């Protein structure tokens, strides 16, 4: 790794403060309206296929602009583990982002990700599996019913949000390829496409591409771990990782890798992007832990985005981001200061 990258204050709490939306309004569950039963909705695949023909495409072609939103409604049921905390306003969820493939400022993903072509899309699932497969997004969507999961997202930079994701358990995708007994970890990769991802072009490259993440197999199989295809009832905006991204709510946000094109079952702990970039600052496990500070800042508290901006009181950060009841047993007997 070059010194240039090691010195870069990449996942930095001060980065992008200028673009924090100081929204007073706070979303609620009611803003979404009641979930519509799946049986009353056109098959999901149809929605996603329609995006190729209509969506925002015609309007943006006519105006010569990148489409601000190709969002299409999704059919879903209410899933387990949802928090009842107020939702972070959609505007914040979709304009204050980390997605370094599009740039390092918080506003860059919303500005530049509109040009990413997310259809067609397929995911290669390989490695230590009985049935390796390359699955088109439509086939992935048939693996399990979509659920809404309202999760807290805690970024290692010291901010958090509450996001109503739409997705399904990662375990359903893994079951499809039948992991072998020798598989102990799951590795994930994001798309590399410099022509559509300005952060992958030019002189300064903050990370080695592809963006890589990984989980232990038991973490990957845990029912809290989902692949998200939507938020706020609609398909994912590109800046949030369309068309398919991981969400692991008890870990720092950088584990929740976006725009996934490859999932590999492996025997050994796989290399992961932020750990490669700075192993002293970013561990493989990266479970949210108020008792283990980042070398350059405390992790004891967090700022909830949308709650009165920089002047709102910080909240205490909870062990495992408040999901300890579900996941603490995965780490029984492990020293979480060593395995941070």
265 makes contact with Mo ion (CB under 5 A): no
What span, in angstroms and rounded, lies between the C-alpha atoms of 114 and 220? 29
Strands annotated E in the chain: 77-78, 122-127, 133-136, 147-154, 159-169, 185-190, 212-216, 226-231, 234-235, 245-247, 260-266, 301-304, 315-316
Shortest reach from residue 305's CB to ligand MTE, in Å: 9
Question: Which tokens go with 200?
Answer: 């992958």
Closest to ligand MTE by CB, 48 vs 156, is: 156
Residue 267: CB atoms within 10 Å: 12
Interface segment toward Mo ion; rule CB under 5 A; list 18-26, 84-92, 201-209, 245-253 = 245-253
Radius of gyration for the chain, computed over Cα atoms and rounded to the nearest angstrom: 19
- 257 touches which of ligand MTE, Mo ion, none (CB within 5 to 8 A by kind)? ligand MTE
Rounded to an integer, what distance in angstroms lies between the CA atom of residue 263 and that of residue 244?
Answer: 12
Per-residue binding letters, 40-79, with ligand MTE (x by CB under 6 A): ----------------------------------------
Going residue by residue from 254 to 293, which x/- string records binding to ligand MTE, judged by CB under 6 A? x-xxxx----------------------------------
Nearest to 155 by CA among 249, 224, 263: 249
Q: Say how far apart CA 16 and CA 69 lie, in whole Å.
A: 22
- List all residues 6 or more positions away from 163 whose beta carbon is below 8 Å from its beta carbon: 87, 88, 93, 150, 151, 153, 231
Q: Which stretch binds ligand MTE (CB under 6 A): 55-63, 93-101, 125-133, 218-226?
A: 93-101
Choosing from 95, 118, 160, 190, the residue that interacts with ligand MTE (CB under 6 A) is 190
The reply, when asked if residue 100 is annotated as ligand binding, is: yes
* Annotated binding residue 157: no
Q: Smallest distance from the beta carbon of 317 to Mo ion, in angstroms?
A: 14
Give the number of other Cβ atoms within 10 Å of residue 180's Cβ. Answer: 12
Pick from 48, 74, 123, 155 the residue near Mo ion by CB under 5 A. Answer: 155
User: Which of Mo ion, ligand MTE, none interacts with 97 (beta carbon under 5 to 8 A by kind)?
Assistant: ligand MTE
**Positions 153 through 172 that interact with ligand MTE (CB under 6 A):** 153, 155
Provide, rounded to whole angstroms, the least separation between the CB of residue 182 and ligand MTE: 27
Q: What is the footprint of ligand MTE within residues 192-211 (CB under 6 A)?
A: 211
User: Is the Cβ of residue 128 or residue 212 nearer to ligand MTE in the bound state?
Assistant: 212
**Residue range at the interface with ligand MTE (CB under 6 A); choices 61-69, 79-87, 142-150, 252-260:** 252-260
Distance CA 192, CA 211 (A): 8
CB of 274 to Mo ion, least distance (A): 9
CA distances from 107 to 17, 92, 102, 154, 172 (A): 10, 10, 9, 18, 33
Q: Taking Cα atoms as reference points, which of 63, 61, 5, 32 lies closest to residue 273?
A: 5
Q: Which stretch binds ligand MTE (CB under 6 A): 44-52, 96-104, 218-226, 326-334?
A: 96-104
**Contact (CB, 8 A) for 83 and 224:** no
Distance CA 35, CA 12 (A): 37
- Find the shortest distance in angstroms from Cβ 246 to Mo ion: 13
Q: How far apart are the first and last CA of the chain?
A: 21
Annotated binding site for Mo-molybdopterin: 97, 100-101, 155, 190, 240, 245, 256-258
Which residues sit at the interface with Mo ion, rule CB under 5 A? 98, 155, 253-254
Detail the residues annotated as belonging to a binding site.
Answer: 97, 100-101, 155, 190, 240, 245, 256-258
């Amino acid at each position: 790794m070059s010194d240039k990258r090691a010195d870069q204050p990449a996942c930095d709490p001060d980065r992008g403060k200028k673009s924090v939306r100081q929204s007073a309004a706070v979303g609620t569950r009611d803003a979404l309206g009641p979930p519509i039963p799946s049986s009353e909705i056109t098959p999901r695949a149809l929605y996603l296929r329609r995006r190729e023909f209509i969506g925002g495409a015609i309007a943006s072609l006519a105006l010569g602009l990148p489409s601000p939103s190709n969002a299409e409604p999704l059919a879903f049921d209410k899933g387990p583990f949802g928090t009842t905390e107020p939702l972070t306003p959609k505007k914040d969820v979709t304009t204050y982002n980390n997605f370094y493939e599009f740039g390092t400022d918080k506003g860059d993903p919303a500005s530049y990700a509109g040009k990413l072509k997310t259809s067609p899309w397929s995911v290669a699932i390989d490695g230590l599996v009985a049935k390796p497969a390359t699955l088109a997004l439509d086939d992935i969507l048939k693996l399990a019913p979509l659920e809404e999961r309202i999760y807290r997202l805690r970024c290692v930079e010291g901010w958090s949000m509450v996001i109503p994701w739409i997705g399904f358990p990662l375990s359903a995708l893994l079951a499809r390829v039948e992991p072998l007994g020798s598989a102990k970890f799951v590795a994930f990769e994001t798309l590399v496409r410099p022509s559509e991802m300005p952060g992958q072009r030019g002189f300064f490259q903050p990370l080695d591409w592809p963006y890589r993440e990984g989980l232990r197999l038991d973490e990957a199989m845990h029912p809290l771990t989902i692949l998200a295809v939507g938020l706020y009832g609609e398909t994912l905006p590109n800046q949030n990782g369309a068309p398919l991204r991981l969400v692991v709510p008890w870990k720092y946000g950088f584990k929740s890798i976006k725009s996934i094109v490859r999932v590999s079952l492996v025997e050994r702990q796989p290399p992961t992007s932020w750990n490669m970039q700075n192993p002293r600052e970013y561990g493989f496990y990266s479970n949210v832990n108020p008792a283990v500070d980042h070398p350059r800042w405390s992790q004891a508290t967090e700022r909830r985005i949308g709650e009165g901006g920089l002047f709102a009181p910080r909240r205490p950060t909870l062990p495992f981001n408040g999901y300890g009841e579900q996941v603490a047993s995965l780490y029984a007997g492990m020293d979480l200061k060593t395995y941070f």
